[in-house]
Structure 1
């Protein structure tokens, strides 16, 4: 007589609750991966729409010094002013192609007196010190700059830096440095300078790659994991049923049929392995 009453015990309901919780966690993780995918698609669309657009005046994008909209990321802007080389700083811990280095941030004072921070590019760490071997000077005098906008970075609590360096592009700290208004919503990655510097310039930023990553496949994987939890639960119930009903004639017949099918699937190599194992066991 079939006996499934054990599956309605408190123990198995507990296992079912664990499987449900595991499935819910997998669904949440799947949704998180889908949200990451959507963020990546939005980021890619900003590159497609903005990166190669024609430059516009800075004031046309940032009406106030603290304005910022993420949809303006990578928008090329044009401005004219004079670099404040004495206030130039290095952003430390900025790797590029696996090599450690620094970003060079140089304030640009515009005609109205306001200050816009320009990231002039990347320099590798020097051979003998935790500094670049040399920092190319920006053009002197009036210069017209085209740069692509990026939002400022948050402060990193507990992260310090030596004099002349900063740990993150936290634009608010520049506002404390100058008496003039400072753009604190965004800064710019240098594209071109006119006139060009007399010396070489830091390495320009790479164009962002359009890659959605593996978020979609990870989302499906988490859903599969959630289903596998129920599949494992069903397998465990079936195995316990077989164990508890091993003396039932119908179950004995099914067990014999399963054994016959397993034997039919055995290959010559399986038989040879069994003979070798038996021979080794006899020798011991």
Structure 2
């Protein structure tokens, strides 16, 4: 008679608990990867919808100084004013294509007296590492700028910067430095400026529209969770064969398995014939 009583042993209860916990962990990791893919797809949709759209006036996109919604990211806006070159800042630790560098942040005083922070582009580190070799001057006088909106960055504890530099684009801090009414909901990555200077920092490239391998990883975690139960079932089956070794039906199945195994294993004569055939 078949004997399944061994599965009631607490050892197997422990195996089952471990398998369930492993499956739950795999499920959570899979959901995390699905969520990351959803975020990546949402960002790609923003790039497609906003990057090449027609610019809108800044005051239309951001009616208040602290206005900004994540769905507006990369939206081009037009603004007109004068650069505050003396208030220019360098954002540290900004790599581009694997090269370390800075982003040049130049406040633009608009015609109504408010200030909007423009990221004019990227500069490589110079010979001294802590500064670019040269920072191109912004256009003097009235300038018309097209910039793409981007949210400010949070404060990162423990990061510091030297004179004229910042570690993170935290717009409220920049507003305090300027002592003027400043847009704190978003700043802008410059797309163009008129009049255009002879030289300017490297323009921000269009972000890559790549959702990554998150879907593949999510499906892999699901497969790992299923494999855990398959492994548990295989272990139970082997234990069952041991406990029921004296059962006639199980003995017959064991003999059948041995016959199939023997049929798949080549004999010495088979090996010799194969060698002769190859020759």
Quote how far apart the aligned CAs of 1:262 are.
Answer: 2.4
CA contact (8 A) 2:87 2:178 kept: no
Q: 1:267 Cα shift?
A: 5.0
Q: CA RMSD in A?
A: 1.6
Q: Which residue of 1 aligns with 2:241?
A: 242
Shift of 1:244: 2.2
- The alignment status of 1:173 with 2:173, answered yes or no, reads yes
> After alignment, is 115-124 or 172-181 more displaced?
172-181
> What are the superposed Cα offsets for residues 221-280 of structure 1, whole Å, 9 maximum, x if unpaired?
1111111111111111111112222333332322222222223223579x97xxxxxxxx
1:209 paired with 2:208, answer yes
**Residues 1-284 of structure 1 aligned to structure 2 (within 5 Å):** 1-198=1-198, 200-266=199-265
SS in 1 for 2:118: strand
Alignment length (residue pairs): 270
Partner-residue secondary structure (3-state), 2:184:
coil
Give, in whole Å, the separation in 2 of the partners of 1:107 and 1:139. Answer: 12
The two structures have a TM-score, normalised by structure 2, of 0.92
Could you list the runs of 5+ residues in structure 2 that have no partner in the other structure?
Answer: 272-279
What secondary structure does 1:132 align onto? coil
Separation (CA, whole Å) in 2 of partners of 1:128 and 1:158: 23
Once the 2 structures are TM-superposed, how far is the Cα of residue 9 of structure 1 from its aligned partner?
A: 2.1
C-alpha deviation, 1:21, in angstroms: 1.8
SS at match of 1:3: coil
The alpha carbon displacement at 1:42 in A equals: 1.2
1:83-115: per-residue Cα shift (whole Å, max 9, x none)?
Answer: 111111111111111111111111111111111
Counterparts of 1:85 and 1:38, CA distance in 2: 40
**In 2, distance between residues paired with 1:55 and 1:14?**
63
Structure 1: gaps of 5 or more residues: 273-284
Alpha-carbon deviations, 1:11-57, whole Å to 9, x = none? Answer: 21222122112212211211111111111111111111111011110
Cα distance in 2, alignment partners of residues 129 and 169 from structure 1: 20
Q: 1 CA distance for matches of 2:193 and 2:155? A: 29
